Amino acid sequence: MTTPEWTPEAESRLKEIPFFVRPAARKKIEKFAQDAGIGQITVEIYEQAKQKFNSK
């Protein structure tokens, strides 16, 4: 399966995450999108994934 594409807006939101956890966060968000069959990570998808992981 291919890695989802990031929109520039979602990419800039990712930069708000501290650099030392950013790679792990990126992987989790990409996996979230892949599992949902989403090919592009938008700000909306980013927020959905963030809410899902923050609610655990």
Q: Specify the CATH number for the domain of residue 44.
A: 1.10.8.550
* Sequence-ordered list of residues with C-beta below 8 angstroms from that of 28, at least 6 positions apart, any chain: 49, 53
pLDDT tens digits, one per residue of 5-33: 999 999 999 999 999 999 999 999 999 99
* Bigger pLDDT: 56 vs 43: 43
Angle between helices 43-54 and 22-35 (to 10 degrees): 100
- Residue 41, classed as helix, strand or coil, is strand
Burial of 21 (0-12, 13-18, 19+ CB in 10 A): exposed
pLDDT in the model for residue 56: 59
pTM over 0.85: yes
User: Could you tell me the pLDDT band of residue 43, with boundaries at 50, 70 and 90?
Assistant: very high
Structural domains in the chain (count): 1
The parent domain of residue 21 ranges over 5-54
Q: Give Rg (Cα) of the chain.
A: 10
